[in-house]
Amino acid sequence: MTKKNQTLGEFIIENQSSFKYSSGELSKLINAIRLAAKVVNHEVNKAGLVDILGDAGDTNVQGEEQKKLDVFANEKFISTLKNREIVCGIASEEEDSFIAINSNDNKHQNKYVVLIDPLDGSSNVDVNVSVGTIFSIYRRVTPVGTPVTLADFLQPGNKQVAAGYVVYGTSTMLVYTTGDGVNGFTLNPALGTFYLSHPNMQFPETGKIYSVNEGNYVHFLQGVKDYIKYCQQEEGDRPYTSRYIGSLVSDFHRNMIKGGIYMYPKSSVTESGKLRLLYECNPMAFIAEQANGLAVGGKSRIMDIEPTELHQRVPFFCGSRKMVEKLQECLDKYH
């Protein structure tokens, strides 16, 4: 039974038996992510005092300018997972390709791969707005004892065994699921310990917040435009409130607690959408569904999409169940 103020370490041990692959490896993996998150949190919180703000002078595989803190977070998560020797492969939004890991003790014997967005919303760091880390965990599909291949990473979201995010804000929280509900842990910075603060997190059935970059309105599909107009109409509990931070983790986290919908549709400018299926959409969809929410990419459930490439982009809509269902109605009129 979950108890508030339980430490994350205690929670992992106590609930390990509810995970169908209860071997202890996943627990070690979550612990490694917790450790790296604490280090990144420390850097995020002192970013204004040290030379870690601004651009790193390079671009990632997406062609986006990398921020110094992006690079730091990427290196820290990769090195922590490598040093713990508990994963056989890592894929990062900041890397061109996946990284195969051959443990010194067990050659290619580890069973899990991790896909990670080390610092989501990093363009907000310079202006002191919340950012986050998103992670997704799968069991490998290639034989144990062999090097990982691209197939281990190109799995649909419904094959995830765990997913979560860390939000670095006014307080730092780690939220994750292993397919048995969603729980949130808040970092006590004085002790360096995460405590269970939000047990059994759930999206309200509906909400009053819609999160979308309305500056791109003119480029959206008509179904999305119709839904935005619906949100703005004065009727019943509407108009809804528009809230958009520009950091997926922060927008998602607020909407899960207060009730709302997050939208990043495809448009005439970004015809495939902008968010990455493997690093952002799948893990957030897994959390949303485990928290009584929904996540779709248009007609299809996000977690049923078969990935075709490591850095694939897709449209993304997720949040409170009734709000996503209404959006789906608007989209279905045209497609």
Q: Which residues are annotated as a binding site?
A: 93, 117, 119-123, 213, 244, 274, 280
- Quote the CA–CA distance of 213 and 137 in Å, as a whole number: 29
What is the separation of C-alpha 157 from the centre of its chain, rounded to a whole number of angstroms? 12
- Quote the CA–CA distance of 241 and 108 in Å, as a whole number: 50
**Helices 8-15 & 25-45 angle (0-180, nearest 10):** 160
Half-sphere exposure of 320 (CA within 13 A, CB side): 21
Report whether 133 contacts 116 (CB < 8 A): yes
Report whether 255 contacts 240 (CB < 8 A): no
Binding residues for Mg(2+), by number, are 93, 117, 119-120, 280
**How many C-beta atoms surround the C-beta of residue 224 within 10 A?**
24
Beta strands per DSSP E along 178-280 = 182-188, 193-198, 209-211, 241-242, 260-264, 275-276
Give the 3-state secondary structure of residue 224: helix
Two tokens at 134? 């998103």
Two tokens at 154? 């190109």
Angle at 73 between CA 171 and CA 312, to 5 degrees: 105
Binding residues for substrate, by number, are 120-123, 213, 244, 274
First and final C-alpha spacing in the chain? 45
What is the separation of C-alpha 266 from the centre of its chain, rounded to a whole number of angstroms? 19
Angle at 209 between CA 206 and CA 212, to 5 degrees: 120
